[in-house]
């Protein structure tokens, strides 16, 4: 019973910091997404490919969450985009206070998009609001078409599903039709965009989704 209360309190504290972050971003006109996916699902590559198609690079800020190393932030920065590495030590997710602290060190003027790449993990990051406007779940073909059923929360709470590495379908047992059925079973009507680095497909579509989501939420605010 004590343990449960502690978890509740931690969650409440996180939610209140997340609300602060969301208010700050709204005030500055920044649309924020939280990318969640397993290690190696292709989150960093997605950012590398999508961001140059989205808007002037100066309008974007990327926060890279990792347990160790600064590799991902270096990859993004190499593309000319401002990137901040958040290393979480052993923590399996980014909590809202880490975003708040990172943003305090960043210049937000002229930024329209904040892209947070969470720690590679399909489980815990789905439970923590970090002040984003939308979560995006990134799943790669080799992970298997049954994953929406096995890890439902992240699919239920995300606005968009990006299915990566579709060029690997012929070499695996993955069925796109079965995957769509499984997504539909846990999140009816969910938008799915298929991408492939090797076939250079889908990235323009993801950029379009981000652009229209920003407009839609801006208009609604």
The residues of the shown chain that bind a second copy, judged by CB under 8 A, are 3, 6, 10, 38-40, 66-69, 71, 90, 92, 119-124, 127, 140-144, 146-147, 149-153, 165, 167-168, 171-172, 198
DSSP code per residue over 39-74 = TTSSHHHHHHHHHHHHS-GGGEEEEEEESS-SHHHH
Contact 30, 111 (CB under 8 A): yes
The percent of the chain in helix, strand and coil, each rounded to the nearest 5, is 50, 20, 30
User: Which one, 32 or 137, has the nearer CB to a second copy?
Assistant: 137
Give the list of residues 6+ apart from residue 181 with CB closer than 8 angstroms, or none: none
Report in angstroms how near the CB of residue 204 gets to a second copy at its nearest.
22
Least Å distance, CB 147 to a second copy, is: 6
Residue 116 backbone dihedrals phi, psi, to 5 degrees: -105, 120
Q: Which is nearer to a second copy, 77 or 168 (CB)?
A: 168
CB 100 to a second copy: min, Å: 17
Please report where in the chains the tokens 């699919």 appear, as a residue.
Answer: 155
Give the helix/strand (H/E) hosting 103: helix 96-104
Q: Which is nearer to a second copy, 79 or 142 (CB)?
A: 142
Query: Which CB sits closer to a second copy, 26 or 168?
Result: 168
Going from the C-alpha of 135 to that of each of 35, 36, 126, 154, 175, the distances in angstroms are 6, 7, 8, 8, 24
User: By C-beta, is 106 or 185 nearer to a second copy?
Assistant: 185
Q: Tell the smallest beta-carbon distance from residue 107 to a second copy (Å).
A: 28
d(CA 16, CA 152): 25
To a second copy, the closest distance from the beta carbon of 56 in angstroms equals 29
Q: Which is nearer to a second copy, 156 or 191 (CB)?
A: 156
């Amino acid at each position: 019973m004590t343990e449960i209360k502690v978890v509740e309190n931690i969650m409440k504290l996180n939610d209140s910091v997340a609300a602060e972050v969301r208010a700050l971003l709204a005030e500055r006109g920044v649309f924020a997404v939280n990318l969640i996916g397993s290690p190696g699902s292709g989150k960093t590559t997605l950012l590398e490919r999508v961001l140059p198609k989205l808007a002037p690079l100066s309008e974007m800020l990327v926060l890279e969450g990792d347990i160790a190393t600064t590799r991902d932030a270096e990859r993004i920065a190499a593309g000319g985009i401002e990137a901040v590495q958040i290393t979480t030590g052993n923590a399996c997710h980014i909590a809202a206070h880490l975003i708040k602290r990172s943003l305090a060190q960043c210049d937000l003027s002229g930024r329209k998009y904040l892209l947070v790449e969470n720690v590679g993990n399909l489980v815990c990051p789905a439970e923590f609001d970090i002040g984003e406007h939308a979560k995006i779940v990134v799943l790669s073909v080799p992970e298997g078409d049954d994953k929406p059923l096995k890890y439902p929360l992240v699919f239920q709470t995300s606005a968009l599903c990006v299915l990566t590495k579709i060029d690997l379908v012929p070499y695996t047992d993955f069925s796109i039709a079965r995957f769509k059925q499984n997504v539909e079973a846990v999140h009816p009507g969910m938008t799915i965009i298929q991408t492939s680095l090797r076939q250079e497909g889908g990235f323009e579509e993801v950029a379009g989704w981000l652009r229209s989501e920003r407009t839609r939420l801006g208009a609604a605010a």
